[in-house]
Structure 1
Amino acid sequence: MTETIQTWRQRIDNARAEGLAAREYFICFTEPKQDRLAVQRHLGIHLEYQRDLEKRGIIVAAGPLSDEKGEEWTGKGMIVYRAKDIAEARKIADADPMHRDGVRTYKIIPWLMNEGSFTLSVKIAAQKIEYA
Structure 2
Amino acid sequence: MKYFAVFLPMKDEEKSAQYRPDHLAFLKEQGEKGHVFVKGRFVDGWGGMVIYQGNDIADITSIVLEDPYVVSGARDFEIHEWEMQEGR
After TM superposition, the score normalised by the length of structure 2 is 0.90
Larger radius of gyration: 1
Q: Is the 8 A contact 1:39 1:75 kept in 2?
A: no
RMSD: 1.6
Deviating above 6 A after TM superposition, structure 1's stretches of 4 or more consecutive aligned residues are none
Aligned to 1:55: 32
Correspondence for 1:37: 14
Unaligned segments of structure 2, at least 5 residues: none
Q: Distance in 1 between matches of 2:87 and 2:5?
A: 16
TM-score (ref. length: structure 1)? 0.62
Structure 2 residue corresponding to 1:64, chosen from 41, 52, 70: 41
Q: Identity rate of aligned residues, in percent?
A: 28
Q: Higher helix proportion, which one?
A: 2
In structure 2, distance between residues paired with 1:46 and 1:29: 14
- Give 5+ residue unaligned stretches, structure 1: 1-22, 68-73, 118-132
| Alignment: residue pair count | 88
* C-alpha distance after superposition, 1:10-62 (max 9, x if no partner): xxxxxxxxxxxxx630000001111x222011001111101001111110001
- Corresponding residue for residue 6 of structure 2: 28
Q: Given the alignment, which residue of 81, 95, 98 partners 2:52?
A: 81
Partner of 2:70: 99
